[in-house]
Amino acid sequence: MLRLFLFAVALTVVLPASGNAAGPTTVPKAGEPLNIGFVLYTTSNTPGVLNARWTYANAYSGPGVATGGPTAGGFVGRYHVRYFLENGQFSDEYDLEIQRHAPGDFYDVTWITDGKVSARGVGMEVAGGKSLAVGWRRVAD
């Protein structure tokens, strides 16, 4: 758990400072939420299903479930993910693509809506490979 916490802290420090390779980083105005999210995907007992716990800008959060993934185990694959708010109300849904980024246990993660990229993130395995911790941000592709 400490490793996950340290990873989350590192993302909040590194992502805003690193900027966008395609252009300059814009600084949010006072009171405006940061364009940073975090999700923890955990393998379930059902093949091809990941359970999610997410937050966006520390303003919204809740559970989620990704289905339709590979039945062989691991995280790599295509899923359909549905997210909910803490009160159980539906929030968003996406097509989710998780790809391994060599070397090591690092991943590139993409959320797609109507064929367009909505968000991108980077992740790493935690908890002995049972969970995938992902920092992400919305994109305007």
Q: Where are the domains of the chain?
A: 2-19+36-138
* Full-model pTM: 0.78
Q: Which tens digits make up the pLDDT trace of 100-132? A: 988 778 999 999 999 999 999 999 999 999 999
CA dist 82 and 132 (Å) reads: 17
One-letter amino acid for residue 46 of the chain: T
Query: Looking at residue 27, what is its pLDDT?
Result: 57
pLDDT band at 94 (very low <50, low <70, confident <90, very high): very high
Gyration radius of the chain over CA positions:
15
Q: How far apart are the C-alpha atoms of 89 and 66, rounded to whole Å?
A: 17
- How much is the pLDDT for 16? 39
Query: SS3 of 4, please?
Result: helix
- Distance of alpha carbon 58 from alpha carbon 138, whole angstroms: 14
